[in-house]
Amino acid sequence: MTKKAPVVVVLGDNSVPVARQIINVLPGARLYGLANRTEYVDVTFTNFGETLRDLFAGGTPIIGICAAGILIRTLAPMLSDKRQEPPVLAVAEDGSAVVPLLGGLNGVNDLARCIAEALGVKPAITTTGDVRFGIVLENPPTGYCLANPEQAKSFMSDLLAGATVRINGTAPWLSNSGLPIDPNGDLTIHITERAITPLPNCLVYHPATVAIAILGTAECEDEAVVVKQILADAELATASVAGVFGMITASAHPEIHALAKAFGVPVRLFTATDIEGLLSENYTPAQAAALKAAGASGQLIYSPSPHLALAISPQPIDPSTIGQPRGRLAIIGTGPGGSQWMSPEVKEILLSATDLVGYKTYLDLVGNLGNGKRRHESDNREEEARAMMALDLAAEGRSVAVVSSGDPGIYAMAAAIFEVLDRYDQPEWSSIDIQVAPGISAMQAAAAAIGAPLGHDFCAISLSDILKPWSIIEQRITAAAQGDFVIAFYNPVSKERIWQLAQARDILLRWRSPHTPVVLARNLGRPGQTVKVITLDQLVPEAADMRTVILVGSTQTKTIQRGDGGVWVYTPRRYTENLPIERNCQI
């Protein structure tokens, strides 16, 4: 299973100091806290059971600062396949006990050791094999894959009953363990890239020693089939494939990613300079890339296809140290305020990003999710420079998140990035994996806070005349008024731009009643949120600022008195009146 960053779950603020000590040693870990009982957490939840079961089902390691029994009872209905279980641990509120509960095959004991060390205590490891030999046979370190996990349990039972083991091949983590190693052992562990059928009393580990390089476009539909045939011809195990390697200039080609997906391994990319030495030795570009990945003692494996090459290394290949990953640029919207309005996709992107680019206020809104990342703060107006910097960072292989508040496609960075991409068209940017992740826009949050004012046709107009002339804005307000759209005004007023809102109101008053409901929503989702309902004739520039979004009703928009003295605002979905005619003309 892919390794996810752990979640530390607390039920009260008392547990937060210990939780923070744990989070400090676990990169990317997040703090979940029970609503109304915890204040300084990354994510709040109301239903403990559901939250825990969702995390567990999604394979997220869980560290509960609570009684072991609570975790056991909550997760009991979910326990069916121990191979799929993420690590689950209970930690005492004062940090005095660290108890691994589940996920033995996915590293719970190692996690327990790491947490216990941070807290200065001894972990309560109870797995006999781990205690006796310091090893979990089913959970080899990165770079090795157990070919026959179904035999690991009886293998370990035999060892615990006194059997000895012969090691065939090289794997320091096994030879340096506490296993009862004996050249004439009753049991055998093979470490080999060969595709062998394990005998009884034998465990086989495949080291990740094979590099696949693919260059240019595919000659056939499915490259994975070709590679599997090459491996079969060479009697090599598919589990020994360490990574798929290619040139950065061709990194957008889907074949390379499809191949990596088929083998469940990462893609790593080279620049022309990385392989120029090998090219001068008369290797083809594909061979040069494969040999570069396999290291100085690497050897080529026969491949019939010129754009494909495979090489084998004497030691496991660690792809994370070779070449660079494909750069990623995610243009994300965090929603208007706190993390409760941030999509799970955006949270995942923030966790995996290496670099955050954005206006300081927006980066601050990301809170703890931004910990441990390079921050590239900028002024809110330097959009083009910010977009270029983000693209350049991603082209270097970094995983960049460009952070906007609300939705990134609504008066925010997404369009700015595509504009720069289009205008400057740098070849190195073509390798970047670009993704836009949506967020809740201010107008949606404002609408939700007051009822359903956007229930029928609506439009959004920015009142900022920095990037477009006022004459166009005027024209659009008039057209929107004539069309009887509900209007969301973004950027209504700033320190330097005051008169525009009053003019917008005057245009609207030509078409709409002075009693038209207007919603002023300020600091949505942030401290000091206010949502007020006034009428169109009361709309003055002093009522708004840059942190306000304004919704102006159509001729159909209505208000309802609420029991608590406030009002709901809604726009019915059925149209009962004709389009408005200019009010001045009616006189």
Applying CB under 6 A, the residues found at the interface with ligand SAH are: 336-337, 404-407, 410-412, 441-442, 490-492, 521-526, 546-549
Q: Which residue is nearest to ligand SAH (CB)?
A: 406
Residue 276 or residue 382: which is nearer to ligand SAH going by CB? 382
Q: CA nearest 246: which of 180, 322, 176? A: 322
Residue 250 or residue 436: which is nearer to ligand SAH going by CB? 436
Q: How far is the CB of 493 from ligand SAH (least distance, A)?
A: 8
Residue 377 or residue 545: which is nearer to ligand SAH going by CB? 545
CB 130 within 8 A of CB 176: no
Q: How far is the CB of 550 from ligand SAH (least distance, A)?
A: 7
Task: Name residues whose C-beta falls within 8 Å of residue 563's C-beta, 6 or more positions apart in sequence.
Answer: none
Q: How far is the CB of 505 from ligand SAH (least distance, A)?
A: 16
Residue 303 or residue 548: which is nearer to ligand SAH going by CB? 548
Task: Name residues whose C-beta falls within 8 Å of residue 130's C-beta, 6 or more positions apart in sequence.
Answer: 109, 136
Question: Exposed (0-12), middle (13-18) or buried (19+): which is 358, by Cβ within 10 Å?
Answer: buried
Q: Which two tokens stand for residue 555?
A: 């001729």
Q: CA nearest 231: which of 259, 252, 257? A: 259
Task: Name residues whose C-beta falls within 8 Å of residue 316's C-beta, 6 or more positions apart in sequence.
Answer: 143, 144, 207, 208, 209, 242
Residue 278 or residue 442: which is nearer to ligand SAH going by CB? 442
Q: CA nearest 464: which of 486, 494, 444, 435? A: 494
CB 237 within 8 A of CB 146: no
Residue 406 or residue 455: which is nearer to ligand SAH going by CB? 406
Q: How far is the CB of 345 from ligand SAH (least distance, A)?
A: 16
Rg (CA), the chain: 30
Residue 279 or residue 452: which is nearer to ligand SAH going by CB? 452
3-state secondary structure of 406: strand
Q: How far is the CB of 226 from ligand SAH (least distance, A)?
A: 46
CB 243 within 8 A of CB 266: yes
Q: How far is the CB of 407 from ligand SAH (least distance, A)?
A: 4
CB 313 within 8 A of CB 295: yes
Q: How far is the CB of 482 from ligand SAH (least distance, A)?
A: 23
Residue 339 or residue 441: which is nearer to ligand SAH going by CB? 441
Q: How far is the CB of 483 from ligand SAH (least distance, A)?
A: 22
3-state secondary structure of 452: strand
Q: How far is the CB of 294 from ligand SAH (least distance, A)?
A: 47
H or E stretch including 186? none
What type of residue is 21?
Q
Residue 144 or residue 490: which is nearer to ligand SAH going by CB? 490
Residue 243 or residue 453: which is nearer to ligand SAH going by CB? 453
Q: How far is the CB of 500 from ligand SAH (least distance, A)?
A: 12
Q: How far is the CB of 547 from ligand SAH (least distance, A)?
A: 5
Q: Which two tokens stand for residue 499?
A: 């008169």
Q: How far is the CB of 218 from ligand SAH (least distance, A)?
A: 40
Q: How far is the CB of 514 from ligand SAH (least distance, A)?
A: 23
Q: Which two tokens stand for residue 274?
A: 């990385």
Residue 6 or residue 525: which is nearer to ligand SAH going by CB? 525
Q: CA nearest 339: which of 13, 35, 3? A: 35
Go through the chain and tell me how many residues it has: 587
Task: Name residues whose C-beta falls within 8 Å of residue 120's C-beta, 6 or more positions apart in sequence.
Answer: 95
Residue 246 or residue 525: which is nearer to ligand SAH going by CB? 525
The whole-angstrom distance between residue 339's C-alpha and the CA centroid of its chain comes to: 14
Phi, psi (rounded to 5 degrees) for 197: -90, 120
CB 215 within 8 A of CB 286: yes
Q: How far is the CB of 336 from ligand SAH (least distance, A)?
A: 3
**Residue 262 to residues 204, 208, 228, 244, Cα–Cα distance (Å):** 22, 15, 10, 10
Residue 107 or residue 438: which is nearer to ligand SAH going by CB? 438
Residue whose tokens read 């029991």:
563
DSSP type of residue 309: E
Task: Name residues whose C-beta falls within 8 Å of residue 519's C-beta, 6 or more positions apart in sequence.
Answer: 446, 447, 450, 453, 531, 532, 533, 550, 551, 569
Residue 226 or residue 349: which is nearer to ligand SAH going by CB? 349
Q: CA nearest 550: which of 462, 466, 467, 476? A: 462
Phi, psi (rounded to 5 degrees) for 143: 105, -10
Residue 155 or residue 489: which is nearer to ligand SAH going by CB? 489
3-state secondary structure of 393: helix
3-state secondary structure of 292: helix
Q: How far is the CB of 80 from ligand SAH (least distance, A)?
A: 42
